[in-house]
Amino acid sequence: MHAPDGALRFPGRIGLGTWEMGVDAGQRKQEIAAVKHALDVGYRLLDTAEMYADGGAERIIGSALQAFGAERRAELCIVSKVLPGNASRNGTTRACEASIERMGCDYLDLYLLHWPGRHPLAETLRGFHDLMQRGLIRHFGVSNFDVDNLQRWLQAQERLGLPAAAQCNQLYYCISARGIEFQLLPWQRAHAISTMAYSPLGRGSLTRHPLLQRLGRERGVSAAQIALAWCLREPEVTAIPKSVDPVRIEDNLRAAELRLTGAELERIDQAFPPPHSKRPLEMV
């Protein structure tokens, strides 16, 4: 959401991811109902991308937003992403316009370059600037960028002299994928770039992990809530788990209220040791 000082403020630290929504037409009603339910129970951050089912996920969100009400648009933070192959200056503009049309949301709160590609970063930045000037996006950022790519991005920003800067890097981050903690997270923290963690449940595998299930039983919560609370132990991290199950959607949202103890974090570190050297950036 847009803050008076121009900084990005997320409306809550748990959002709804939509990767793989819109793929199966037979699941369309269930997926629309899932997004509607998420909005009804308090989700205000929705993440999607033009790549997801070739715009199908954005159409799912668009249908849910119709029921939510256009007059409540300002309550939401809607995030989408441009494919690298579309990320020329004009291509970025066209892709954003198409995403907005599919969702019927008038503007995007945050627009990301999905991963580094063949177009010069300066071209993408010019496209983002054009979109901001037109009021079609409020903030911009990147996804799946390592430190080297982020440095090139910031250099391009400086050369262009743009009044706005990248405010978020969306990354694969979960208990079983901690590589970004060695170098990338500290670097982003130093440059005021927030982290949005996608697949924070390890694509579902962490919900079945024996240690997380044991910790959950001890606290009277689910393994998923333990995994999400672990992500949120870092104050600049927001998590976007994806689910179409109403019970799990509610369960995930409540993880924002859970604080893990030092003893619990130590047990998790023993099972999932933090990195001690730079690792290649992981993507799923």
- Chain segment 18-47, per-residue pLDDT in tens: 999 999 999 999 999 999 999 999 999 999
pLDDT for residue 252 is more than 90: yes
pLDDT on residue 58: 98
Instruction: Tell me the catalytic residues.
Output: 52
pLDDT digits (tens, 9 = 90+) for 82-108: 999 999 999 999 999 999 999 999 999
Please, where are the H alpha helices in the chain? 28-41, 56-68, 89-103, 121-133, 147-160, 184-190, 210-219, 223-231, 246-254, 262-271
Tokens of 203: 């694509």
pLDDT on residue 3: 52
Average of per-residue pLDDT across 263-275: 96
Residue type, 215: L
pLDDT on residue 127: 98
pLDDT for residue 159 is more than 80: yes
pLDDT for residue 185 is more than 70: yes
Q: How confident is the model at residue 281 (pLDDT cuts 50, 70, 90)?
A: low
pLDDT for residue 4 is more than 50: no
Q: How confident is the model at residue 203 (pLDDT cuts 50, 70, 90)?
A: confident
pLDDT digits (tens, 9 = 90+) for 104-148: 999 999 999 999 999 999 999 999 999 999 999 999 999 999 999
3-25: burial string, b at 16+ Cβ within 10 Å, e else = eeeeebebeebbbbbbbbbbeee
pLDDT on residue 243: 96
pLDDT on residue 102: 98
Of 115, 127, 116, 118, nearest in space to 164 by CA: 127
What does pTM read for this prediction? 0.95
Domain residue limits, the chain: 16-271
- Which fold is adopted by the domain 16-271? TIM Barrel (3.20.20)
